[in-house]
Every structure is written in structure tokens, then in C-alpha cells.
Amino acid sequence: MILLLLAGLSTGLVDDYERGMALARGDQWDEARATFLEGQRKAPRDKRFPLELAGIAYRDRDLPAARRLLQQALHLDPHDRYGNNFLGTLYFLEGNLDAALRYWNAVGKPLLEDVRFDPPPRLDPALLGRLPAFSAGGMLAAADLQTTRARLDALGVFRRYRIELIAKPEERFGVAVTTVERPRWNNLPALLRGLPFQTGHFDLLNVRGSGVNWTSLLRWDAQKRRAATTVEGPLRQDPARRYALWLDTRREVWNTGEAEDFRLGKEEFGAELRMLSGPRLEWRSGVQVARRAFSNAPELRPGTSLGYRTGVSYRWLTLPERRLEADSSARWEVARMLTGTRDVFSRTQASVSARWLPRALGTDVAMTTRFRAGKTLGRTPFDELFLLGIERDNDLWLRGHAGTRHGKKGSAPLGRDYALLNWEIDKELFRHSLFTILAGPLLDAGRPFGAARPSDPEQWLWDAGAQLKVRVLGSWTAVLSYGRDLHSGRGAFYISFLP
């Protein structure tokens, strides 16, 4: 009896599938869909029904439904060649190359016929040849695409780039890498962006096609004088290994709420090696020497220190179908004072960040979230404490708390340790060949621990507001933000320029 029931059930499923296929061949698509749905209801673990339903959805130009049905089929059989190829093709047609490669790679696609830079960038041939992690004659793997992007980003000579996969006959493909190089010397917009803040940026990029960049900053603000220069480039023409040398000098006036100001003078020199390991992992290691002096602040400890620092960052989540990426990083610094009591102190910081593009196509909406925390150990000098607020020499932003008062540093919360959350959404409002305008809300939450001054809060601080971004000529971005401290009711307007 059981064998007869099973035979009857099998015959019914075959009838549903064959009847649906016959209806589809006769262009009776609605009837075919209904028949396949009935077959799927009877046999929810039969991959053939969602595969055929995906084909009907694709014919009706309902791509989200087609993707959903193909994912159902691949959940039943992850190795199905037709399903992987079909789903990869859908993502390729939408312009989501990362998602396409996830499924194409499962069936040994795409095979590359050629790889070219169009136009060829002004780079040494040996360095240029090491930028792509893929080559003609092989398969373009998702990990190799991500590794290539990491190398292009690390090189620091491109304003933007695009990696395109071009379909060719007989299921072959070509890769075209289109790059837009940053100007070798500062162009006029780049020079002007710092003038409102009494700052000049002077850059020399990609020296003689070597990938070596020399960037400098000079600020003549009487309250926050600064001169800094950095030279970085690939080690032995390898874009995955880079070195950096830097020198930074500051002369700053601080007002921390006391009756009188004090001055901080600091010189710092350092060297660092940066290494990319595959598409996800990067580590850094370096040494630095710092000399600090304080005037009119006898309680603060001057002196010279020698330190070592190391860091690692890792992309631990990549969901190309959801257009979601998440990264984590950690940094550790330890130093010994070479003068005075010769104390040892250290700083540790860790962060987790995520970026989500909620729409299937385009980048006109983006949501970014980042959480960071830091801790110090030992007798940490004043200039190594953590400042939470908007200030040009600080990246720990609470956008409702100004980092300066009358141009002098010291108004933002200071602490030995901290926790900080930043969240924002950017929505593209207008796009033109000369500029693009984006806007969106922001929310920051931060707390300093081990306050440096009695006036510093020992509680969570919440700032809410909005920001406007204007990307000019694709070369730099002006950011105007307003944040309001939800505890005190005070707000802060701030404008900054990003390269």
C-alpha cells in the first residue's frame, strides 16, 4: 500500500512538472506558473519548481522575485549549475559584480580572455602589473576582485576607479580597469579648501610613476599652528606592502576651563610598514619618537618618549547580495619616557564599522555605523588623552560638542578611556557633472571615562543632527554638519573638507 501511495505521489509531481513545461512551451505563462506553484506546494524540496518559476519571473521582468526563487532552489541544492549561473547572470545584469561572482565562481565562471587598464595609468610597469590579483586565462574569483580593490585603494594615486567585466563570445569575458588619477600637484580646488581655516595643503603624488606620495600641511592659525609632512610609497614596487615616514610639529593654545591658558608644543617623527594580506586582512607596525613641552602648566608632564605601535584591520562580513560590509580594527601603542621618571604608558583602541547600501542599484543612499572604544594604561601624557568632539586634529567626533572655544582647544570632553558610536545616512539629492549634493541625519553617542578635569562629564553624551555634503569636481567634499547636545541643549555648526 505504501509503495502504491509513493508511486502515485511521484506520478503526480511528474505530471505537474511536465504539464507546467508544456504550458510554458505554449506561451501560457499564467497557467504554467499556477501549475509549478501547485507542484512546489506538493514537493517543497524539489528544486525544479522554483527554478522554472524563476524563469517565468525573469520573463515578466520581476527580477527581485526571480532572485528570491533562485535562492530557494540553491538552498535545496547549492551546487546546481543552472541555478548558480542564472543567479550570477541576474546580479551581473544589475551591475552587482561581487554578488555575480559569488554564484558564477561556484560553476567555474567567468573565464578571462584579457585584462587591460583603459586608459593605462601613469605607473611603473612592474608596479602596474602587480595591481590586479587576476590574470588572463584564469577565472575571476571574488577574493581576487576584492584584493585588487584593496591594492588600488592603498596606492593612494587614484581619485576613483571602476572594474568592469565585459561579456565576450563563447562565455568568455574581459576585464577593463578604468582609473581617474589624482592630479600630480594640488589643483586649485584642493589648494583653496584649506584657506578658510588658515591652512594650506601641498601634495606631490605618484612621483615619476613610482606610487610614492608626498603630502604636507601648513596651518598658520595663531591658536593652532601646525606643520606636517608624510612620504609614503610601495616597498619594492609591491602595492601590497607600503612604507610611510612622517614628521608633525604643533604649537597650540589650550583653554580647559581654568583661569589661564597654557601652550602645548609637540614634535613627532615616525616610520611605519603597512601590509595587505589577501582581500580582508591588513596590519601595520611602526615606531615613533615624540617630544612634548607645556608652558604655564606645571602639573602637566613634558619630556621625550620612544614608542612602538601596531594595528590590524579585518573585513569580517561581506554580503554582496545585501550590499552590506562590516570591518573591525584594533590598534595598540606602547611608549617609554626617555626623560624624567622613564614611565611606560600605552593606548589601545578597537572599532567595528558597517556600511549598507539599501537599494539594489546605485549608491544614492548609504548608511554608515561605527563603534569605537579606547583605553590607556600607565601615566599617560596629556597630549595622548582622548578628546571627544569636532576638531580638525581629532577624529573622535561628537558632532554636538565643539572641540575649540574662541579658536583654542580644550572645550570638548577629555578622558583616559572612551566609548563612541557614530551613525549617519547619506541621501543623494542632486547630481551634476560638476558637483553632487547629499544630505541626511546623524546620531552620535559617546562617553569619556577617567575624566581629565573635574568639569568633564562621567556619563553618556547624545548628539543628534543633520549634515550636508557637496562633492565638487570629484576631487574633494565639503561637509557641513549641525549637531545638538541632547543633554545641555547646546548645538554646534561645523564645516570640514575631505580629500
Domains annotated for the chain, with CATH where assigned, are 2-107 (1.25.40.10), 112-181 (3.10.20.310), 188-498 (2.40.160.50)
Output the CA angle 121-125-129, nearest 5 degrees: 90
Return d(Cα 398, Cα 24) in angstroms, integer. 60
The pTM (predicted TM-score) of the whole model is 0.90
pLDDT at 341 over 70: yes
pLDDT at residue 10, rounded to an integer: 47
Question: Model confidence over 284-339: pLDDT tens digits?
Answer: 999 999 999 999 888 888 999 999 999 999 999 999 999 999 999 999 999 999 98
Q: Given pLDDT bands bounded at 50, 70 and 90, which one contains residue 3? A: very low
Q: Given pLDDT bands bounded at 50, 70 and 90, which one contains residue 7? A: very low
Mean pLDDT over residues 19-28, rounded? 89
Mean pLDDT over residues 268-284, rounded? 95
Return d(Cα 28, Cα 21) in angstroms, integer. 10
DSSP 240-273: EEEEEEEEEEEEEEE-SSSSS-EEEEEEEEEEEE
pLDDT at 1 over 50: no
Whether the Cβ atoms of residue 439 and residue 469 lie closer than 8 Å to each other: yes
Cell numbers found for residue 79: 551546487
- Residue 480's φ and ψ, nearest 5 degrees, are -110, 120
Whether the Cβ atoms of residue 201 and residue 193 lie closer than 8 Å to each other: yes
Whether the Cβ atoms of residue 340 and residue 305 lie closer than 8 Å to each other: no
Calculate the alpha carbon distances from 368 to 6, 78, 357, 460 in Å: 54, 32, 9, 21
> If phi over 0 gives left and psi between -120 and 50 gives alpha, with beta otherwise, what is residue 156?
left
219 strand-pairing partners: 199, 226
Mean pLDDT over residues 204-227, rounded? 94
Question: Model confidence over 82-124: pLDDT tens digits?
Answer: 999 999 999 999 889 999 999 999 999 999 999 999 889 999 9
Q: Given pLDDT bands bounded at 50, 70 and 90, which one contains residue 144? A: very high
